Structure 1
Amino acid sequence: METALVIGASGGIGSALSNRLKVEGVAVTALSRSEQKLDLTDPPSVERVLGSVRAPFDLVVVATGALEIGGAGPEKSVRAVSARTMLDHFALNAVGPALVLKEAHRLLPRSRRCVFAVLSARVGSIGDNRLGGWISYRAAKAAVNQIVRTGAIELARTHKQSICVALHPGTVETPLTRKYAGRHATVSPEEAARNLLSVIEGLSPEDSGGFFDWAGERIPW
């Protein structure tokens, strides 16, 4: 891998991914809302910023997303659903990555192995949902999983060696997740970055369209 594009590079995981890739000698283009004014909820912003980068990239990682938006935390039950909160989650956690994936045909090379990875979450798994709650976040992550699956099918038609996947980084230590980690084991952003890059390195085109955790294990849809 020689080149990478990291979107959401000012966040905990995105920053750690950028730094780790640089340590490994990869030329990284790092984009974020704070630095380049890349707003994934604003289509013209996505087109403008992504249109200005020099492509293609061997790896594109969408490391954006949020568990709390506008001060609204995850719902404890469906009775707490708010239309505004749900729409906000879909805009950032599903539509945003879809707008980046829309540009994948230009961002990725056609003649060699390339990876398009979106950070998802295990709670987006429908089959693995045994607790309920967190309706808006779960639904948006389930939606982005479907977006990745569909994008993988379409990319394979023109980019034969492409790999398009959704990845669960584990519960990563950040000020936000600390409020919700509970008894779940957490990892540092640096460890999460190493884990994710290890998984990415081991993927093949046959894995495209899959949903994997930080250890490389498949997660049920």
Structure 2
Amino acid sequence: MRALVIGASGGIGGALAVRLAGQGAEVVALSRRADGLDLTDGAAVERVLGAVAGPFDQIWVASGVLEAPEKALKAMTPEGLMRAFSVNAMGPALVMRHMARLMPRDRPARFAALSARVGSIGDNRLGGWYAYRAAKAALNQLVHTAAIEMARTHPQAVVVALHPGTVETGLAPAQRAGHPAVGPEVAAANLLAVLERLGPDQSGGFFDWKGETVPW
């Protein structure tokens, strides 16, 4: 099996790359830090991913950013909104432009972008976190739409958004909102297990680390 991990310098991305390699996969691990893959720079994405040869049985986009989540409308700024959308929505979308080329058409293949439960409109009962919520909601729509298109040419493909749960990465305890956190290694194991269980009929969905559907 071959796997492509985007965001491999982060906690979850790094753990995914290590675990996949431990399972015997040939892993291509890319990041901004090591490879210049800046997901906010379209030219950088084209340059780095354009040099990558498929096919891949799994593609992971494990990048993302959460900076000073807003608690009120007055705390929103153009800069904060732009930053959240650039990294959390636009970046994965630029990666998805390469999906059709990088995934096989004649056998099962899986693509997962790490989303977040706070991106769920139906599950939003607390408010706040405007930029991050909206950016992840946009990511969910992008993934769902891409899955529809991919099904036309890659009928065995699975394209999904996954919520990893609360993970001990760069989030401060206050940003975890009191939720118990797991280490990146545990999160990676959970996510890989969920993705393996999903089939083409579930492509375009939004699932959590237990494999349960998250409402849009």
TM-score when normalising by structure 1? 0.96
Matches within 5 A, 1:70-219: 73-219=68-214
Q: Secondary structure at the match of 1:86?
A: helix
Query: Quick one: distance in 2 between partners of 1:93 and 1:177?
Result: 18
Q: What CA distance in whole angstroms lies between the structure 1 residues aligned with 2:145 and 2:172?
A: 29
1:130-161 Cα deviation digits (max 9, x unpaired): 00000000000000000000000000000010
SS for the counterpart of 1:197 is helix
| Displacement after TM superposition at 1:179 (Å) | 3.8
Taking the aligned partners of 1:217 and 1:175, their CA distance within structure 2 comes to 25
Query: In the alignment, is the contact (CA less than 8 A) between 1:4 and 1:27 conserved in 2?
Result: yes
SS, match of residue 46 in structure 2 = helix
Match of 1:39 in 2: 38
Letter in 2 for 1:60: I
Unaligned segments of structure 1, at least 5 residues: none
Preserved contact between residue 12 and residue 174 of structure 1 (Cα < 8 Å): yes
Deviation of residue 177 (structure 1)?
Answer: 4.0
Other structure's SS at 1:180 match: helix
Distance in 2 between the 1:215 and 1:182 partners?
A: 20
User: Which stretch of structure 1 is more off in the superposition, 167-176 or 147-156?
Assistant: 167-176
Kindly state the Cα deviation for residue 11 of structure 1 after the two structures are TM-superposed. 0.2
Residue aligning to 1:61: 60
Q: Secondary structure at the match of 1:13?
A: helix
Task: Tell me if structure 2 keeps the 8 A contact 1:116–1:165.
Answer: yes
Distance 1:118 1:14 in 2: 11
The offset of 1:93, in angstroms, is 0.4
Alignment-mate amino acid for residue 7 of structure 1:
I
Residue in 2 that maps onto 1:3? 2
Query: How far does residue 88 in structure 1 lie from its aligned partner after superposition?
Result: 1.0
Q: What is the rounded CA distance, in whole Å, between the counterparts of 1:159 and 1:192 in structure 2?
A: 28
In the alignment, the residues of structure 1 paired with residue 105 and residue 202 of structure 2 have an alpha-carbon distance, to the nearest angstrom, of 17
Q: Is the 8 A contact 1:171 1:177 kept in 2?
A: no
Give per-residue Cα distances to partners, 1:95-135, cap 9 Å, x unaligned: 00000001100010000000110000000000000000000
Identical-pair percentage: 60
Rounded to whole Å, the distance in 2 between the matches of 1:142 and 1:176 is: 19
The whole-number CA distance in structure 2 between the counterparts of 1:115 and 1:67 is 26
Quote the residue 1:29 is aligned against.
28
TM-score if structure 2 supplies the norm length? 0.98
Once residues 106 and 172 of structure 2 are traced to their aligned partners in structure 1, the CA distance between those partners, rounded to angstroms, is 39
Q: Which moved more, 1:179-188 or 1:167-176?
A: 179-188
In structure 2, the partner of 1:18 is 17
